[in-house]
Chain A
Amino acid sequence: MHALVTIARKEIQESLLSARFALLLVLALVLIPASLYTNYRSYEVRRTDQMEMQRRSMEQLKGLSATQLFTNPDLQVDVYLPPVASSAFASGFQEAHPRHVVVGRHGVEYGAPLEVSPSLGLFGGIDYLFVVQLLFSLFGVLLSFDTITREKEAGTLRSILASSVSRSTLAAGKFLGGFTMLALPLVIAFLVGLLALALAGLDLTTGGFLVRSTWILASSLLYVAAFFLMGLLVSTLTRTTYAALVVSLAVWLLAVLVLPRSALLVARIARPVESRQAVLLEKTAALADIERAKGQALQSVYDQDPETWEEARDEVVAPFERQAAETARRLDEEHRLRVDAQRGLALTVARLSPTGSLVSFVTEMAGTGLTAERRFLTDAESYQETLYRELFAKVFMDNLPGGTIRMGADPSLDLEAVPEFTSNPPAPLPSLRIVDLAILAAWSLILALGAFLALERYDVR
C-alpha cells in the first residue's frame, strides 16, 4: 500500500511540474465554464423564442376565419420542442435535427431548422460533451502514453522494479496518480461551470439538475479513465516513447473521431432508410389515390340520386377518411421503425468506442438524446391525433362531380376549444442508460487488465 501511494504521489508531483497538466487545467477552466454559461444563455433565448412561436402558432389557428379554414385543406400547426436547461451540457440531437415539427391532417413532418446563431452551424459549437469527448480523451492519452516508456528510456524503471515493488503495484500507482491529475482539472472546471450556471440564473436544485450533473460527471470520469488506460496499455506494448506517441494518437483518432462517425455510415449502408421527404411524397400520392376513390364513390352516389346524395355523404366518405388516416399512420410508422433500426445499429457500432457510450449517456442525461427526440415526436403524434379528432376531421373538402368542390365544417367545431400542444416534461431523473455506463466501465477494466498483463511481461532491459 505504501508503495502504491508513493508511486501515485510521485506521478502527481511530476505532473504538477509538467506543461501538459498546466495546459489541460487552463483549457478546462476556460472551456467548460464558458461553454456551460453560453449554452445556458442560448437555452434561455430558445425557450423564450419557442414559447412565443408556439403561442403565435395557436393564435393564428384560432384566429382563422371560416373561409380561411375551409379553403385551406392542408392546414398545419407548428409545434416546438420545449428546451431543457441541461442542454447546456450537450446540445445532442437538437443541433442535428429541427427543433420544431409541423402537425397536419395526415401526420407529423419536420419543420425548418431554428437557428440561434448562424455561425454555430458553420463551425460547430462547443459544449461540455465536446470538451470531454475530444479534449479530455486526448489529454488522457497524452498524460499516459509515455508512462512506462519514459521510465524505461530514463532507466528509472529498473530502479523502481529493483525496489521490491511488484509490476502490478507500479501500474496501479501510475494509474492512480495519473488519473488523479486528469480528473482534477475536470472536477474543478465542472464545479466552476456549475457556479457559472448558478450565476446565470439557473436554480441548480430544481428538476433533478444536480443529480443529472453528478451522473454526467461520473460518466465523464469513467470515459477519461478509459483513455488514460488506453495510453498506459500502449506504453506497456511499445519500446520507445516515439512509437508510443504515434500508436496512441492513431488509436485515439480511431476511437474518438473515426469509429463513432463511421457508425452512421455503416448503418446507412446496412439499413438504408428513405428520407422523410420521400415518405411525404409517397404519402401524398397514396392519399391522392384515396381522395380520387372517394370522389368516385361520391360520384356514384350522386349519379344514383342527385337530390338526396348529401344525406349519404358522411357514410360514403367515412371509410375513405379512415383509410387515409391509417395509410398515413402506417407509412409514418414504417418509416419510424426503419429509422429506429438504423439508429439502433449506428448506436451499437458507435459503442464499439467509449466515445459512443459517453455521447449516448450524456445526451440522455442532458435530455437531448434519442429518448428525448422520440418523446417529442411521440407527443407530437399524439397531438396530431387530438387535432385530427378536434379539428381536421371536422373540416372537409369534397371533390364533387363535374369539378365542383364542396367545403364545410362540422357544427361542433370550436376553434377556441382546440387544445394546445403540451409535451410531457422529462422525468427529473431519466432512467439511466446502464448499458452505456457498463460499457465505459468494461472498457476501463479491459484496458487496465491489458496494461497490467503487458507490464508483467515487459522487457525491462
Chain B
Amino acid sequence: MLEARDLTKRYEDGVLALDHLNLRVDNGEIFCLLGANGAGKTTTINLFFDFIQPTSGRAVIDGIEVAADPIEAKKRASYVSENVMLYGNFTARQNLDFFTRLAGRTDLTRDDYYMVLRRVGLQERAFEQRVKSFSKGMRQKLGIAIAILKEAPNVLLDEPTSGLDPKAGADFMELLLELKEEGKAIVMSTHDIFRAKAHADRVGIMKEGRLVMVRTREELTGEDLERLYLEYMQVETHAA
C-alpha cells in the first residue's frame, strides 16, 4: 500500500513542486497520475524512492515512512522509469542479475532470469545480448522484469509507455495488469489518457503540485476523460 500524507516539496529555488498531496493506493489497485509536465507526478515518485527529501508531510510504503527508513521502505517498492536505464555493456541477464541482487534477491538462478525474460516477452536471443543494442521497448521490458523479480508489493512507474510503439505499449500494460492481479499496489504517472482510462482503477489529475481531481473507474464510465482533463487544465489556468 502506498500513501502520501500532506506530502509537500519546495525546492531551494522556491518552486513548489508538490503541494500537500494526499493519496492512498491499495494492494491490487492501479492508480494513474495524469498531468502536464511539471505538474508534480515525477516529484511524487521521487519522494517515494528517497531521491529527494520532502519539505513536509510523509511518503509511506506499507506503513513505513520513506524519510525515516528509506532502505526498508524501498525494499517494498519497485521502480520503472520513462527510460529504463541499464548498463549498456552488460547483457540483459547480467543487468537483471545486478539489479535483483541489489534488491536482495541472491537466490535466483540463470533459469529464473530466463523465465522472467520470457514472461515479459523478450526474445531468447536477446537474453545474452548487450543492452546497448536494445530498443526502448526491450529496455522497458527488462525494467519490468527487474520489478517482477524484486517481488515488491508496490510498483511505481514514471511514464513507462512514453515513446513505445502501440504493440509494445499494449504488451507493457498487459504485464502491469498481471502485477495488479498478483495484488500489487501500482502508481503510474502517464500522459496516455486512453490507457489510463482503460486500465486504471482510479485516475488522478495533477496540476501545479496539487491533486485536483480523482475519479474511480466506475465514475469515469461514460465520461470523456480527455475532455475532463482539458477542462481541468483550462479551469486551473484561468483560475491562476
> Which A residues are within 8 Å of any B CB, using their own CB?
2-3, 6-7, 10, 13-14, 17, 154-156, 158-166, 459-461
Contacts and interface: CB of A to CB of B under 8 A. Distances in A.
Nearest to A170: B102
B81 A163 contact: no
Contacts of A158: 49, 51, 79, 81, 85
Nearest to B79: A162
A156 B83 CA distance: 10
Contacts of B52: 459-461
A20 B83 CA distance: 28
Given A161-B50, A459-B52, A3 B101 contact: yes
A159 B86 contact: yes
A155 B85 CA distance: 5
B46 interface: yes
Q: Is the contact region of chain A dominated by helix, strand, or loop, or is it mixed? A: helix
Nearest to A459: B52
Contact of A161 (B49, B83, B86): B49
B80 to A, nearest CB: 9
Interface string B6-43: 00000000000000000000000000000000000000
Contact of A6 (B50, B51, B85, B102): B102
Given A159-B99, A164-B71, A164-B74, A2 B51 contact: no
A162 B74 contact: yes
Contact of A163 (B51, B72, B87, B150): B150
Interface string B95-107: 0001101111010
Given A3-B104, A159-B86, 19 more contacts: A3-B102, A6-B101, A10-B87, A13-B90, A17-B89, A156-B87, A159-B79, A160-B102, A161-B49, A162-B78, A163-B102, A163-B103, A164-B102, A164-B104, A165-B102, A166-B70, A460-B46, A460-B52, A461-B52
Contacts, number: 69
A3 B72 CA distance: 14
Nearest to A162: B79
Contacts of B98: 6, 10
B84 A162 contact: no
A10 B89 CA distance: 11
B191 interface: no
A11 to B, nearest CB: 11
B85 A154 contact: yes
B174 to A, nearest CB: 23
B75 interface: yes
A7 B102 contact: yes
A164 B101 CA distance: 10
B14 to A, nearest CB: 16
A166 B69 CA distance: 10
Nearest to A156: B85
Contacts of A14: 87, 89
Contacts of B81: 155, 158-159
A169 to B, nearest CB: 9
A57 B149 CA distance: 82
Contact of A155 (B50, B75, B83, B90): B83
A21 to B, nearest CB: 13
B67 to A, nearest CB: 13
A17 B132 CA distance: 14
